[in-house]
């Protein structure tokens, strides 16, 4: 089994400092759990966040130095020596952050893809069993044919950061052929402005209701009605 | 007869020296230390002054030790001298006198555990110690006495035999532990890793920077410790003073500093002598085998032990052998964190946030000033100049500690001081990362903080956070950042003494001051806050443990984020001590202590920072 | 279409309320094409029937259990925003048919696709279903499934996509980029995905929701096999993912009632640090700065004071309910409903009530 983890570099959303996205750390964890050789691939120059990602368990990272569409560059690189498994996070952090790259790559390579993966099993007959994490702790079992692309769930177990690994990582620049250029995204970019969300439709009107010293039965009634109104007892 | 005595005492001494060399050979398998041998010259002074300074805090123990050690060694030296030089009766008499004193010492050693042994003392081989000492002293003492009075060989021979037997027993007790401290102590005092402790200047409490390019970071196996440190573990006399002082032990966490040091000593040996002291509470017995190249943590030392330590240095303060427990703990943590990434979950989160957000709580650096935003604090831009740089610290994110900072800022304004903060350029000082063993993150935070500070001009740094104070004052210099750093209580004390702030005592409930470890034990500052409180409050009491020997609140060393299981909570214990002192209010001087002690549930004394109490008492300042 | 659309300020206001504080605040920016109601005064409820709109906008909606949820309605609402007055909305329903509700939520046409199609074949099926409509835009929820389909669709079709759009109008879509530190405003792309609670559901007159035939799903070699969804039990759910958490503080002494109640309510159990320190609950249950930060919708805090380090764990919780003897406890200030009473009395009463009801 040979796995490749796609690394985007990236920044921390709060501080803006270099940091690998959680999903990519989870992807490294999945790759390690698959066993066998694991390497990282990044399109672009070596970046600080790559070393940090490596600290979670990568011995080497190939930095593909070509100009143009990263999907095309990756596809060319991966088809030259196809791994069994390509792992990615759910989305990058610090660029376009659309989460499209693994999908475009899968389409171009003609490989199947599954997202939201929290665990992987052992290969049998060319099928890899995986577990998909869904909201509210729900899980779904699936099988996928190798070679394939898996996007890790952000909450998949993250392997610990080990400084010793981060400092030892071998980051080698790989010169690759330039690819077709892609148009820059349309529109105007500006600093983010947080916009409040709409009230949830199930939310009760008003807030901060206080019931001072009710008798227990009344308290229970009010509590139950409130929880019902919030839709917490539907299931 | 003289030949016999030379043979007996000399033989034992020679055997002891051989034993020392055997031990030395093992210690030398540790990382090399420079100037170790040269340090031998310092040993007598360090021993007679510094060790005895600690020992003497318990006069009975000091008497016991002086008599036993003085008698055993002094008698032997005098007897050897007399025998070799063929000196007259007077030297023999002196030798007999010394041995006699040693005999009394042996009696005192025996009395320590009889009728009832204090729980912090070890049993096992220690129970044989008085007999061995007594045999050596009585046997040789009698021999010397007979020589002094010129008696025949008849009574001398059995005396020498008795002395010899005692000597052999003492040698055996070197191997078993109780007497090892005498030999290992010499090596440890010669190569002590904190020579600054002996100079009388400063306190030498800062952790040493780690070379991040070294192949092995921190300690995984005994051989990763330096030679003198290994000698230090062998030098532990199992007196249990550290155990009595340790807050984590008191709270029932899996840490007993004495057992820790003994474990580290045992870790060097495949078959360590049995340990007969109290173990760390509820720690399961580990089956691992020791050896210079065998892993320590998880093998012979329980993981939780490592993360329970609050780095409060109470053990170090008490240790008569001047052992550096905290350095050992941090060295082991460095190995776990940097080489294996094996930290506790909460700590791993805090370290990740420190790495990626330069703030262990993961908050936006720009939000640090939010709690004092109403005060419109000036922010010093790069290239800017002010008198005082106010380092806000991690507590600034907390609404409760915001009140303290507002009090401090108000007082500084009243006194007409010119000061500013770094604003969003203030990164975490790295204290937490460093104590948790993440030296890499510490060094990168420190480098950033130092360059931010170097880009501004000011005469001194003031902070209300003793942890930041310690790091900035004692640990940044090794990384190239040297400034005058003052704690806010020091500054306020200065302002009151200069008359720039005038206080009028407020009728108060009883106030007890809780010394923050990083201000007291780490920096020796215990008087300024007390002077301030005496000027601000009418009724101040001391808790039983205060000043340099105060008990920790449980907030240091990353202990709160490590969440090690305990039986009781350290702050609850400390609060109980405040109640016992009759305090209605506990004065604090650290954001960590504030949070920990305010976290004590149920009715309890109030918690106020010294700055808040001073503000309440201020009647005039330069500005009014 | 009957009559000229006009804005209904009251309905509009109601839909723009945002949480936070006792006094609701309004967000209006960028939200045009609000509720559309017929011009005439009160009369019999009517249904808007659209035969040949100028163009189509599609909304892909999940309804695995035959119910249209809030997010689905909002997705349809945003399709209506993009359709404006001239366009029609086609709902691509994945799951069971809920045509009735979909019409109410703003769809003029409905096409149903089976969940069983599976993720690999889904983009092909969707493209086949959408082909007759040649939609100008396709809107999906940025949910785990919706987000996955949207990206597969984009990769297959080559259509430009804007993911995680936080503000949408007919002329502009704004989405965060650069690690949510920057945002980009652009003309809405052909494909869009929407996080929850960003665009209001449609509030106008019912639409026809006319069912249209489902396409033949092109066969393809099976590369992925997906099993059934296994729902988590509240008790075993990871605290960080649980939607409903009931937590015990130092004020809880009757832990039997606490455990019984959490089971009856279907809530995942949490605790304050004091309780974990005392070993009354496992450390993994700890909520707060040094424990788990919740992502729950509702947090029932029993006997918890609400220390700052504890409240840090409630960062994202929408609804806090407190049971506490102290009216001045910090948790009361954070709670939407506070019962000032002894937990040891309230818990058994609630248990009795729940048991009595069935
Ligand atoms: C560094 C640090 C980190 C911390 N991290 C966390 C953390 O992650 N999570 C956390 O929870 N805490 C944390 N704490 C501890 C925190 O400060 C508080 O001590 C703790 O949250 C208090 O827990 P509590 O509310 O259960 O207890 P208390 O403060 O004792 O509150 C009990 C509450 O129950 C009420 N009560 C009493 N009897 C009854 C009754 N019969 N019926 C109903 N109500 C009753 C009381 O009025 C009171 O409000 C941390 C502290 C520090 C210093
Ligand atoms: S530093 Fe404090 S907590 Fe750590 S071992 Fe020593 S006394 Fe115990
Ligand atoms: S470490 Fe020091 S204080 Fe502790 S038992 Fe040993 S000698 Fe005594």
Same domain assignment for residues A99 and A137? yes
Interval C206-258: pLDDT, tens: 999 999 988 887 777 789 999 988 888 877 788 888 889 999 999 999 999 99
Range of the domain at C316: 239-355
Same domain assignment for residues C101 and C160? yes
Query: ∠ CA C333-C336-C342 to the nearest 5 degrees?
Result: 75
Residue C43 confidence (pLDDT): 53
**Nearest by Cα to A167 from B356, B341, B350, B451:** B341
Residue B380 confidence (pLDDT): 96
- Cβ neighbours of residue B147 under 8 Å, at least 6 residues apart? B1, B2, B5, B82, B83, B89, B92, B156
- Would you list which residues of chain B are within 8 Å, Cβ to Cβ, of chain C? 346, 361, 398-400, 560-561, 563, 565-566, 569, 595, 598-599, 601-602
Cis peptide before B115 (omega within 30 of 0): yes
In a domain, C221, yes or no: no
Residue B616 confidence (pLDDT): 94
Name the closest-CA residue to atom 2, ligand 3: B319
CATH code for the domain of C75: 3.40.50.620
**Ramachandran region, residue B586 (left: φ > 0; alpha: ψ -120 to 50; beta: rest):** beta
The encoded tokens of residue A113 equal 């893809």
In a domain, C323, yes or no: yes
In a domain, A185, yes or no: no
CB-nearest partner of C154 from A10, A103, A198: A103
Same domain assignment for residues A11 and A64? yes
Same domain assignment for residues C198 and C279? no
Residue in the block written with tokens 């989460």:
A99
DSSP C294: P
Is residue C175 within 8 A of residue C161, CB to CB? The reply is: no
CATH code for the domain of C339: 3.40.50.1220
CATH code for the domain of A101: 3.40.50.620
Residue B1 confidence (pLDDT): 77
What ipTM did this prediction achieve?
Answer: 0.91
Same domain assignment for residues A136 and A230? no
Average pLDDT over residues B563-571: 87
Name the closest-CA residue to atom 6, ligand 3: B236
Residue C2 confidence (pLDDT): 43
In a domain, A9, yes or no: yes
Interval B485-527: pLDDT, tens: 999 999 999 999 999 999 999 888 999 999 999 999 999 999 9
In a domain, C22, yes or no: no
DSSP string, chain A: -EEEEE----B-TTT-SB---HHHHHHHHHHHHH-SEEEEEEESS--HHHHHHHTTT-SEEEEEE--S-HHHHHHHHHHHS--SEEEE-S--SSS---S-HHHHHHHHHT--EEEEEEEE---BTTEEEEEEE-GGG-EEEEEEESSEEEEEPTTSPPPPP-HHHHHH-EEEEEE-------PPPPSEEEE----PPPPPTTPPSS--EEEES--HHHHHHHHHHHHHHTTTT--
Number of structural domains (chain C) is 2
In a domain, A79, yes or no: yes
List of chain A residues with pLDDT < 70:
199-207, 234-235
- How many residues are there in chain C? 358
Same domain assignment for residues A207 and A171? no
- Cβ neighbours of residue C33 under 8 Å, at least 6 residues apart? C80, C81, C84, C85, C169, C170
Q: pLDDT: is C136 or B175 the higher one?
A: C136
Same domain assignment for residues C110 and C159? yes
In a domain, A139, yes or no: yes
List the domain boundaries for chain B: 2-190, 195-342, 360-485, 496-617
Interval B568-618: pLDDT, tens: 889 999 999 999 999 999 999 999 999 999 888 878 999 999 999 999 999
Beta strands in C219-331 (DSSP E): 224-230, 244-248, 268-271, 298-302, 319-324
Confidence of residue B400 (pLDDT cuts 50, 70, 90): confident
CATH of B360-485, one of 1.10.10, 3.40.1350, 3.40.50, 1.10.3470: 3.40.50
Residue of A nearest to B337 (CA): A162
Residue C42 confidence (pLDDT): 52
Residue of C nearest to A206 (CA): C22
Same domain assignment for residues A20 and A101? yes
Residue of A nearest to B338 (CA): A163
Range of the domain at A214: 203-235
Same domain assignment for residues A140 and A210? no
* Sequential pLDDT tens for chain C (358 residues): 444 445 554 554 444 444 333 343 433 333 333 344 444 455 556 889 988 999 999 999 998 777 888 899 999 999 999 999 899 999 999 988 777 789 999 999 999 998 888 899 999 999 999 999 999 999 999 999 999 999 999 999 999 999 999 999 999 999 999 999 999 999 999 999 999 889 999 999 999 999 998 888 777 778 999 998 888 887 778 888 888 999 999 999 999 999 999 999 999 999 998 898 888 898 889 998 878 889 888 999 999 999 888 998 887 788 999 999 999 898 998 899 999 999 999 999 999 999 987 6
Same domain assignment for residues C65 and C196? yes
Rounded Cα distance between B455 and B472, Å, is 16
Same domain assignment for residues C249 and C332? yes
Same domain assignment for residues C80 and C196? yes
With CB atoms and an 8 Å threshold, state whether B440 touches A163: yes
Number of structural domains (chain A) is 2
Backbone angles phi, psi at C114, to 5 degrees: -80, 140
Same domain assignment for residues C61 and C202? yes
Same domain assignment for residues C192 and C277? no
Residue A154 confidence (pLDDT): 86
Does ligand 1 have an atom closer than 6 angstroms to the CB of C249? yes
Same domain assignment for residues A169 and A228? no
In a domain, A190, yes or no: no
Rounded Cα distance between B131 and B170, Å, is 9
Q: What is the average pLDDT score of chain B?
A: 93
Residue B613's H or E segment, with its range, is: helix B610-617
Asked if the model's pLDDT at residue B451 lies above 90, the reply is yes
Residue A199 confidence (pLDDT): 59
Same domain assignment for residues A233 and A131? no
DSSP C328: T
In a domain, C289, yes or no: yes
Rounded Cα distance between B562 and C291, Å, is 10
CATH fold for domain B195-342: Fumarate Reductase Iron-sulfur Protein; Chain B, domain 2 (1.10.1060)
The encoded tokens of residue A205 equal 């009107």
> Of A189-203, B42-56, B325-339, which has the strongest mean pLDDT?
B325-339
In a domain, C218, yes or no: no
Residue C284 confidence (pLDDT): 87
Interface check C226 vs A, CB under 8 A: yes
Same domain assignment for residues C201 and C305? no
CB-nearest partner of B217 from A12, A159, A164: A164
Same domain assignment for residues A29 and A70? yes
């Amino acid at each position: 089994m040979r796995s490749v983890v796609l690394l985007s570099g990236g920044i921390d959303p709060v501080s803006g400092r270099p940091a690998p996205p959680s999903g990519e750390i989870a992807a490294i964890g999945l790759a390690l759990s698959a066993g066998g050789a694991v390497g990282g691939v990044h399109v672009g120059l070596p970046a600080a966040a790559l070393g940090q990602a490596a600290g979670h368990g990568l011995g080497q990272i190939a930095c593909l130095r070509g100009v143009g569409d990263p999907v095309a560059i990756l596809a060319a690189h991966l088809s030259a020596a196809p791994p069994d498994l390509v792992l990615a996070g759910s989305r990058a952090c610090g660029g376009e952050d659309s989460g499209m790259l693994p999908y475009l790559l899968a389409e171009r390579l003609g490989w199947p893809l599954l997202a939201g993966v929290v665990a992987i099993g052992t290969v049998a007959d060319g099928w890899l069993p995986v577990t998909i994490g869904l909201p509210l702790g729900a899980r779904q079992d699936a099988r996928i044919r190798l070679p394939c692309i898996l996007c890790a769930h952000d909450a998949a177990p993250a392997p610990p950061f080990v400084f010793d690994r981060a400092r030892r990582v071998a980051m080698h620049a790989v010169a690759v052929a330039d690819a077709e250029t892609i148009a820059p995204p349309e529109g105007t970019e500006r600093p983010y402005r947080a916009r409040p969300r709409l009230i949830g439709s199930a939310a009760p009107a008003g807030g901060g209701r206080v019931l001072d010293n009710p008798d227990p039965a009344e308290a229970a009634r009010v509590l139950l009605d409130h929880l019902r109104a919030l839709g917490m007892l539907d299931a | 007869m003289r030949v016999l005595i030379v043979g007996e005492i000399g033989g034992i001494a020679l055997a002891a020296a051989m034993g020392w060399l055997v031990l030395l050979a093992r210690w030398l398998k540790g990382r090399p230390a420079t100037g170790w041998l040269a340090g031998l010259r310092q040993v007598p002074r360090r021993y007679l002054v510094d060790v005895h300074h600690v020992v003497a805090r318990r006069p009975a123990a000091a008497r016991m030790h002086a008599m036993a050690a003085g008698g055993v060694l002094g008698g032997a030296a005098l007897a050897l001298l007399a025998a070799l030089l063929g000196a007259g009766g007077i030297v023999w008499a002196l030798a007999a006198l010394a041995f006699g004193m040693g005999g009394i010492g042996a009696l005192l050693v025996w009395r320590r555990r009889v009728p009832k042994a204090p729980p912090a003392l070890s049993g096992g081989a220690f129970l044989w110690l008085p007999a061995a000492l007594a045999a050596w002293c009585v046997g040789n003492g009698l021999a010397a006495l007979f020589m002094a009075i010129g008696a025949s060989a008849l009574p001398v021979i059995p005396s020498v035999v008795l002395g010899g037997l005692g000597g052999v027993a003492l040698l055996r007790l070197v191997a078993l532990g109780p007497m090892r401290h005498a030999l290992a102590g010499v090596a440890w005092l010669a190569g002590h890793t904190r020579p600054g402790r002996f100079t009388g200047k400063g306190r030498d409490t800062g952790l040493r920077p780690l070379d991040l390019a070294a192949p092995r970071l921190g300690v995984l196996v005994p051989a990763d410790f330096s030679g003198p440190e290994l000698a230090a573990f062998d030098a532990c006399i199992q007196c249990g003073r550290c155990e009595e002082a340790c807050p984590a032990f008191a709270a029932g966490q899996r840490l007993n500093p004495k057992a820790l040091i003994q474990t580290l000593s045992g870790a060097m040996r495949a078959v360590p002598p049995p340990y007969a002291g109290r173990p760390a509470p509820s720690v399961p017995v580990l089956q691992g085998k020791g050896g210079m190249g065998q892993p320590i943590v998880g093998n012979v030392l329980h993981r939780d032990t490592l993360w329970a330590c609050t780095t409060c240095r109470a053990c170090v303060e008490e240790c008569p052998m001047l052992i550096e427990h905290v350095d050992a703990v941090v060295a082991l943590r460095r190995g776990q964190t940097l080489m294996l990434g094996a930290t506790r979950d909460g700590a791993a989160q805090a370290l990740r946030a420190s790495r990626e957000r330069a703030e262990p709580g993961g908050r936006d650096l720009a939000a640090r000033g939010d709690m004092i935003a109403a005060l419109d604090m000036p922010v010093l831009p790069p290239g800017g100049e002010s008198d005082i740089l106010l380092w806000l610290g991690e507590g600034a994110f907390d609404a409760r500690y915001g009140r303290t900072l507002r009090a401090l800022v108000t007082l500084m304004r009243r006194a007409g001081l010119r000061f500013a903060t770094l604003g969003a350029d203030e990164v975490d000082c790295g204290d937490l990362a460093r104590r948790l063993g993440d030296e890499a993150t510490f060094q990168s935070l420190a480098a950033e903080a130092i360059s931010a500070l170097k880009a501004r001009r000011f005469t001194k740094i003031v902070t209300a956070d003793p942890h930041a104070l310690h790091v900035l004052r004692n640990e940044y210099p090794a990384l190239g950042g040297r400034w005058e750093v003052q704690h806010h209580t020091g500054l306020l004390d200065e302002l009151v003494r200069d008359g720039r702030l005038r206080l009028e005592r407020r009728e108060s409930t009883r106030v007890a001051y809780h010394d923050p470890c990083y201000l007291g034990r780490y920096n020796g500052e215990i008087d300024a806050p007390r002077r301030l409180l005496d000027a601000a409050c009418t009724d101040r009491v001391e808790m039983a443990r205060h000043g340099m020997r105060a008990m920790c609140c449980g907030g240091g060393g990353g202990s709160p984020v490590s969440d090690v299981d305990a039986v009781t909570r350290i702050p609850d214990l400390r609060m109980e001590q405040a109640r016992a002192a009759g305090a209605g209010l506990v004065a604090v001087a650290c954001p960590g202590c504030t949070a920990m002690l305010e976290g004590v549930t149920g009715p309890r004394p109030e918690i106020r920072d010294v700055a808040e109490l001073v503000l309440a008492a201020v009647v005039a300042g330069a500005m009014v | 279409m009957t009559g000229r659309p006009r804005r209904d300020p009251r309905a509009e206001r109601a839909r723009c309320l945002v949480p936070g504080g006792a006094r609701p605040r309004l967000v209006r920016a960028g939200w045009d094409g609000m509720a559309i109601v017929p011009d005439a005064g009160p009369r019999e409820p009517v249904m808007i029937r659209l035969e040949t709109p100028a163009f189509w906008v599609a909304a892909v909606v999940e309804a695995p259990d035959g119910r249209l949820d809030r997010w689905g309605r909002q997705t349809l609402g945003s399709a209506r925003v993009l359709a404006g007055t001239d366009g029609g909305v086609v709902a691509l329903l994945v799951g069971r048919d809920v045509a009735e509700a979909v019409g109410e939520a703003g769809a003029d046409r409905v096409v149903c696709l089976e969940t069983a199609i599976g993720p690999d074949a889904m983009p092909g099926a969707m493209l086949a279903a959408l082909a007759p409509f040649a939609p100008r835009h396709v809107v999906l929820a940025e949910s785990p499934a919706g987000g996955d389909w949207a990206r597969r669709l984009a990769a297959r079709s080559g259509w430009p996509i804007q993911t995680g759009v936080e503000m949408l109008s007919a002329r502009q879509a704004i989405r965060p980029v650069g690690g949510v530190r920057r945002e980009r405003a652009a003309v809405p792309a052909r494909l869009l995905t929407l996080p929850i609670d960003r665009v209001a559901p449609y509030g106008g007159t019912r639409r026809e929701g006319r069912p249209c035939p489902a396409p033949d799903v092109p066969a393809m070699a099976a590369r992925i096999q997906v099993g059934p969804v296994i729902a988590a039990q509240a008790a075993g759910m990871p605290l960080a993912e649980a939607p409903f958490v009931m937590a015990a503080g130092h004020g809880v002494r009757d832990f039997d009632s606490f455990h019984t109640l959490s089971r009856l309510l279907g809530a995942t159990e949490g605790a304050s640090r004091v309780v974990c320190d005392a070993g009354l609950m496992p450390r993994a249950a700890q909520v707060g700065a040094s424990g788990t930060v919740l992502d729950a919708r509702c947090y029932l805090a029993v006997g918890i004071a609400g220390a700052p380090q504890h409240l840090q764990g409630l960062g994202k919780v929408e609804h806090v309910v407190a049971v506490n003897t102290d009216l001045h406890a910090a948790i009361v200030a954070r709670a939407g409903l506070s019962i000032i009473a002894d937990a040891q009395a309230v818990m058994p009463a609630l248990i009795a009530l729940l048991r009595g009801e069935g």
